[in-house]
Structure 1
Amino acid sequence: MEHTKSNQHPAEQTTPLSSPEPGRPRIESSSVLRNSILLFGFHVLTKSLAFVSFILLAKYLGTQMFGVYNYGFALTALFIPLCDLGMDTYLMREVPRLSKEEIPRQLGAVLSWKGLLTFVVFLAISLTGGILDVFGTERFFIVVLAGLITLLRTYWTTFASFFRAIDRVGYETGMLSLARIAEFIVILASISLDAGLLSLLSVWAVVNIVFVSGTHILVRTRFTRPIMVGDFAHMISIFRGGLPFALATIFSAIYFNFDTVLISKYVGDEAAGIYRAAYNLVFPLTMFGLAISGAVFPFASQNYRTQPGEVEEVIRRSVIQLAMISLPIAVATTMFSGEIVQLLFAPEYAESATCLAILVWFLPIVFLANLYGNTLGAIDQQSFVLKVTILSAVFNVGANFVLVPMYAQTGASIVIVLTALLGFVFLFFKMRGTLRAAVPIRALIRISLAGLFILPLLLLRSEIHVVLLLITSVALYFGALLLLRALSLGDLKNILLSLKPRSRF
């Protein structure tokens, strides 16, 4: 088994991978499962709210205005990586290796950078919106408000990184859940009052200001007081440490949002709305995979050198969990894509069914790719992840320019799945060479076979009530997992044991 080599690129030189500093407790492997469950539950709640919200907005706004709404957020999302330049991820990796006395300085430096960068980025978004959509128009103000909301939400990533790094994920999930509930209430009120899109976005911005401020106060009073450092050398070291993560995120943002902008400009807002209807059904589910990979990240960062076997086992279990979750979702959604779109959307969105049947296969691929990419970043292999991300982005942009003009939203759907598959192949083989036991090929084969057990039921879907079909399919799938030994009763017991009460920070 290979370990991270010592001849790192200068931008990757960080706190040595060693045991935790005095005063900093070790993150136990049991914390990974517990935090994964907390984050998973949080995403079930918030993504359910987001799902209902986007269905309501799609019906309320109509295809054209819904396309403009999504265009605004897709355009501003291209600027997200510039808001922290990878320093949030760097913070989550470094804090588990620091003593409690060093944490305020590290957090303060990241928040200082965040304040400066978000101000500059907001000006850039406003200028871009004015150039593309004419200053002062309704479309321009939609872009500006979408940008403000997006930038405020980037502060959540800083606090989320801090909470995960100190193994206190419950605070992250609690505050973010309250914020998302407040946003959902705003949507209901705006639709009920027919307030319009601009009013809705304005109130959303206020909600995010309130909750970001409240979370900052919570961190200062409950955990640590960030020190806004004036040490130029330290600020530059934070910048250099986060840069590889930033570049990877920038290129990821390109291929997650470029397609929507291209469709909107070269095909039309209606086509963009149809594409995003399917897109917004699938992509919120990626957060379930990020729940597990996000819980693994600080554990791997702290323990890779001192407990490599334990890290390998945690990643192996995480891979199995992600595959078990994503595979049946992909199979069932492909089979029922037409019925799902017909149930959730107006007839004008019928073409979204084809996009949905294709896009859903992005899930099992990206679940594992994100886990492997995040783990490699946690053990100081972020330069490799960056190279893979750049290659994927170049492929995505080129393929979209070829396929979108010919096949519109269907072509974009194909491209994004192929892009994820390309990146996964490189990360898969890199992980096999770094943490070989973390790639459980036999277990993945068993899970794939278990997925085949539900195909006969899905093929008979027209003859069975949908509720009975769903219950039977889930029972048959988990029965097959137990039969093929991809899942054991001991695994279920470990999940329950992971929920025991925590000690104080």
Structure 2
Amino acid sequence: MNGARKLAKNTVILFIAQFLGYILGFFYIIYCARYLGAENFGILSFAIAFTGIFGVFMDLGLSTFTTREVSKDKKLAGKFLGNTILIRSTLSSFIFLIIVIFVNIFQYPPVVKNIIYIITLSTVFAVAADIFNSIFQSYEKMEFRAIGQILNNFFLLLGALIAIIFKLNITGFAFAYLIANLLFFIYSAIACIRKFVLPKIEIDFYFWKWALLESIPISIAILFSIIIFRIDTVILALIKGNIAVGYYNASYKLIEALMVVPIVFSTAIYPVFSKLYVYSNDSLSFSYHKSFKYLVILGLPIAAGSVALSDQIILLIYGTEFIESSNALKILIWAIPIIYLTYIFRILLISINEQKLLLIILSICIIFNITTNIMLIPYFSYLGSSFATVLTEFLSLILSIYFISKNICKIEIKKIVIKPLIASFFVFIVANHFKNSLLVAILLSTLIYFGILFAMNTFSESDLIIFKKIFNRE
């Protein structure tokens, strides 16, 4: 299978899995938010954000590092798998203890403490599952990872429905996360051992030292990324309370769902970038340019259409109790086209061993993000957090473009962006006009968007060649 078709296969598989997973997750969020209400939904969201920040230290970038190295040499799979199991078991135990100490020092209410403990344990299993998912990714066999993601979200939704049927409290929803991630871990371990490689269980301290030294810059980059995504929720909870967190996260969960595109694409392209960096810089540059173009085309109309339809989207999903979240969505949605691009920049930098450059970008952004949240939240509450998120992502985009253009390869941004931007303006006009009929607005604006792109000759001959290679079965 040629490179274009393999990438397309993996991208489609992951997209279908993420799409199905997000549909399941979508219903989970609906049931969870409607049943728990803004305050309890805010507590659960806070616990997930809080443990997500600490969860990075359970992995320390070893999953990403394993994917990169095993992609280059499959013979290392068993050694990486066995050693990283031991490393992460040690790290997870230590971080769990740190979290227990932390939440007791800050004297959170008992219900919040219990939820944090349960979500932390579920994070331990999720991180453990990533050990095996990194092997699936390095072999470019994304179907195994995809099945695991679907199962994870299915059991999460099932747990929520059981909690509602038996009228359980917020603790029942937290246990849904724990059980879903435990089953996800069990599936991933069995699939990896049966289909790919047995872990070579050993204590190789030389390997541990090498792996940790190489992966720590990656882990810091991941940590900074997660802090940028999650710290707003933590700060908002401290300053404005759980109700504001509930309103904010109702919109933020929709943003996370829309991030399926860059997550899927970057997951599929990461091993490809890693190999091209070794064998062909020209092919790497070509792939980077095309990735940038396609993600711009996908990101801009989503933002434009969502601004027009924000009220209808929030009412449909959450009901009238969360209508205030629509204003946050109108702001937050502009992070989507930016995030689509920053994801591919970060994957590119990690693929070519430029983690230090990525750390510089993220260090600047995290300082900016925390500062803007602290400045804006007291005056604008969750809307301040929304502005801070978009501004931070925009700063990340500017810095990424600057550093990559200066040190790696330049890209003609205006030439790529102008046509999708014009077409997205018409998406907003059409969606706003037909906003009382959500399905009609989405379908009609999508047709008009791509019709305008084709009319303006947005897709070049090389784009058409790529599409033909992807769909050619001969």
Tell me, what secondary structure is at the counterpart of 2:279?
coil
Measure, in 1, the Cα distance between the counterparts of 2:255 and 2:462. Answer: 31
Superposed displacement of residue 112, structure 1: 1.7
Do the aligned partners of 1:73 and 1:146 also contact (CA within 8 Å) in 2? yes
Measure, in 2, the Cα distance between the counterparts of 1:466 and 1:210. Answer: 36
Are 1:116 and 2:81 counterparts?
Answer: no
* Structure 1 residue corresponding to 2:10, chosen from 14, 35, 51: 35
Do the aligned partners of 2:81 and 2:132 also contact (CA within 8 Å) in 1? no
| Distance of aligned partners of 1:60 and 1:107 in 2 relative to their CA distance in 1, 3 Å threshold | same
User: 197-206 vs 247-256, which deviates more?
Assistant: 197-206
What is the one-letter code of the residue matched to 1:364?
P
* Structure 2 residue corresponding to 1:481, chosen from 440, 444, 453: 453
Measure, in 2, the Cα distance between the counterparts of 1:457 and 1:206. Answer: 44
Superposed displacement of residue 493, structure 1: 7.9
| Distance of aligned partners of 1:455 and 1:281 in 2 relative to their CA distance in 1, 3 Å threshold | closer
Tell me, what secondary structure is at the counterpart of 1:449?
helix
Do the aligned partners of 1:34 and 1:499 also contact (CA within 8 Å) in 2? no
* Structure 2 residue corresponding to 1:55, chosen from 30, 36, 53: 30
Q: Which runs of 5+ in 2 are unaligned?
A: none
Superposed displacement of residue 32, structure 1: 2.2
Q: Which runs of 5+ in 1 are unaligned?
A: 1-25
Aligned residue in 2 for 1:3 = none
Measure, in 2, the Cα distance between the counterparts of 1:459 and 1:208. Answer: 40
Aligned residue in 1 for 2:416 = 443
Superposed displacement of residue 339, structure 1: 2.0
Q: Mapping of 1:417-432 within 5 angstroms?
A: 417-432=390-405
Measure, in 1, the Cα distance between the counterparts of 2:334 and 2:466. Answer: 29
Do the aligned partners of 1:179 and 1:211 also contact (CA within 8 Å) in 2? yes
Are 1:370 and 2:343 counterparts?
Answer: yes
Measure, in 2, the Cα distance between the counterparts of 1:322 and 1:445. Answer: 14
Q: Which has the higher contact order (CA 8 A, sep 6+)?
A: 1
What is the one-letter code of the residue matched to 1:120?
F
| Distance of aligned partners of 1:134 and 1:190 in 2 relative to their CA distance in 1, 3 Å threshold | same
Are 1:94 and 2:66 counterparts?
Answer: no
Aligned residue in 1 for 2:302 = 329
* Structure 2 residue corresponding to 1:220, chosen from 172, 180, 193: 193
Superposed displacement of residue 492, structure 1: 7.1
Aligned residue in 2 for 1:298 = 271
Measure, in 2, the Cα distance between the counterparts of 1:411 and 1:201. Answer: 28
Aligned length: 474
Measure, in 2, the Cα distance between the counterparts of 1:439 and 1:296. Answer: 21
Aligned residue in 2 for 1:8 = none
* Structure 1 residue corresponding to 2:49, chosen from 74, 81, 98: 74
Measure, in 2, the Cα distance between the counterparts of 1:213 and 1:62. Answer: 32
What is the one-letter code of the residue matched to 2:421?
S
Superposed displacement of residue 359, structure 1: 0.3
Deviations 1:339-362 (A, max 9, x none): 222222233322211110000110
* Structure 1 residue corresponding to 2:365, chosen from 375, 381, 392: 392
User: 251-260 vs 341-350, which deviates more?
Assistant: 341-350
Could you say which structure has the higher helix fraction? 2
* Structure 2 residue corresponding to 1:467, chosen from 432, 439, 445: 439
What is the one-letter code of the residue matched to 2:205?
F
Do the aligned partners of 1:482 and 1:488 also contact (CA within 8 Å) in 2? no
Measure, in 2, the Cα distance between the counterparts of 1:363 and 1:469. Answer: 20
| Distance of aligned partners of 1:250 and 1:27 in 2 relative to their CA distance in 1, 3 Å threshold | farther
Identical positions, percent: 24
Do the aligned partners of 2:19 and 2:260 also contact (CA within 8 Å) in 1? no
User: 312-321 vs 64-73, which deviates more?
Assistant: 312-321
Are 1:64 and 2:39 counterparts?
Answer: yes
Measure, in 1, the Cα distance between the counterparts of 2:88 and 2:148. Answer: 20
* Structure 2 residue corresponding to 1:162, chosen from 129, 135, 138: 135
Measure, in 1, the Cα distance between the counterparts of 2:437 and 2:258. Answer: 25
* Structure 1 residue corresponding to 2:80, chosen from 77, 87, 106: 106
| Distance of aligned partners of 1:407 and 1:290 in 2 relative to their CA distance in 1, 3 Å threshold | same
Are 1:85 and 2:60 counterparts?
Answer: yes
Superposed displacement of residue 203, structure 1: 4.5
Measure, in 2, the Cα distance between the counterparts of 1:385 and 1:472. Answer: 39
Tell me, what secondary structure is at the counterpart of 2:458?
coil
What is the one-letter code of the residue matched to 2:292?
V
| Distance of aligned partners of 1:28 and 1:435 in 2 relative to their CA distance in 1, 3 Å threshold | farther
* Structure 2 residue corresponding to 1:452, chosen from 407, 425, 441: 425
Measure, in 1, the Cα distance between the counterparts of 2:51 and 2:156. Answer: 19
Do the aligned partners of 1:74 and 1:261 also contact (CA within 8 Å) in 2? yes
Measure, in 2, the Cα distance between the counterparts of 1:33 and 1:272. Answer: 38
Measure, in 2, the Cα distance between the counterparts of 1:175 and 1:193. Answer: 27
CA RMSD of aligned residues (A): 2.3
Aligned residue in 2 for 1:22 = none
Tell me, what secondary structure is at the counterpart of 1:194?
coil
